Copies of this chain bind each other. A is one copy, B any other.
Amino acid sequence: MNKRVSLKDVAQHVGVSIALVSYVLNGQEKEKGVSPEMTVKIRKAIAKLNYQPNLVAKGLKSGKSHTIGLIVADISNPFFSAIARVIEDEATKHGYVLIIGSCDENAAKSRHIEDVFLNRQVDALIMTPAIGSQRQIKDILKRKTPVVLIDRYFDNLKVDSVRVENYQAALAGVLHLINNGRRRIAMVTYRTELLHFRDRREGYKAALAQNDIPFNPGWIVEGSYEKLDHDIATGLGQLLRTAGIDAIFFANNTLAVAGLKVLNALGIKVPDQVAVVSFDESEAFDLFYSPVTYIRQPIEAIGKEAVRMAIDRIQGSTADSRMMTIPATFIVRESSGSK
């Protein structure tokens, strides 16, 4: 009752060689010319003994693990876990299993996870790359394991990637604020070189430029990943008290939640005194007294495309590296209202 039953057990039970059983298992009884009666017998034995294939052995033999590695900054972050869910479903649909690792925006940590995943023979890697991980990604590609980048990307690194139209979305968000009569618009973002945040910043600047509003670097508040709440409380608090800001554009949901807390603490009314637009969504946005206007990322599409690209490579595609850019959706609610 105890040990796992193997091909051999089934074969012995029927009194045939393991090859026949293998053929039947893989639906090759026709090609291999297994007699119908034998096929039936073997099928019965498989069912009776409740045979379950050992996928590790299969993987060793075939060189395919049917596993996709997913490395995100932090799986406990709702944005990444939402993507993970989409990727999981999509992978499952195609017979793949997901192994997940969190790299905390840290290239060394990411490197370690990559190594472990590669040694486990993942068939492909989908990742949100940390800063400074270009080199290691290149190495992985050299070893012929497909990589698909999501959310972030790097210039001059030939690798498949799925991105969002960060620039355009940010531009639209800030233009919306301007159209609502705001001109003293601050931006809250991370102190980071990640290109997607740079793009959002450029979108913000472009919106100002298009309306002849001078860009004031001092109106960009930057937070660090490590002590975000503190940075935002200090930086944004200072700015709000002194600069006569009438709108804020947040570069992502985490920043927005931190920033809205500051607004609350200072008793500043949204949108009467300060209008707000944020990148990403959050449960908290719905419950805020002034439901937050936000830019919705196409999470579903990102996940699906990433898996599609990965599987395409696994199946041998050697096309040039592809970059897919997906538009975001702008959801207007109350927080961005005109004065």
A115 and B54 CA atoms in complex are apart in Å by: 11
Q: Which of B84, B99, B142 contacts A99 (CB 8 A)?
A: B99
Expressed in whole angstroms, the minimum distance between the Cβ of A105 and any Cβ of chain B is 14
Does A97 belong to the interface (CB within 8 Å)? yes
Interface flags, A60-98, vs B, CB<8A=1, else 0: 100001010000001111101110110011001000011
Cβ-closest chain B residue relative to A253? B283
Interface flags, A252-285, vs B, CB<8A=1, else 0: 0000010011001000000000000000001110
**A binding-site residues for B, Cβ under 8 Å:** 1-2, 4, 52-57, 59-60, 65, 67, 74-78, 80-82, 84-85, 88-89, 92, 97-102, 115-121, 142-144, 257, 260-261, 264, 282-284, 286-289
29 A-B pairs, CB-CB below 8 angstroms? A2-B143, A52-B119, A54-B121, A55-B119, A55-B121, A67-B99, A75-B85, A76-B81, A80-B81, A81-B84, A85-B102, A88-B102, A89-B102, A97-B99, A97-B101, A97-B116, A98-B100, A98-B101, A99-B99, A100-B100, A257-B283, A257-B286, A260-B287, A282-B283, A282-B284, A283-B283, A284-B286, A284-B287, A289-B289
Residue numbers in B under 8 Å from A264 (CB-CB): 287
Cβ-closest chain B residue relative to A254? B283
Docked-complex contact A84 and B88, CB < 8 angstroms = no
Docked-complex contact B261 and A120, CB < 8 angstroms = no
Residue numbers in B under 8 Å from A57 (CB-CB): 60
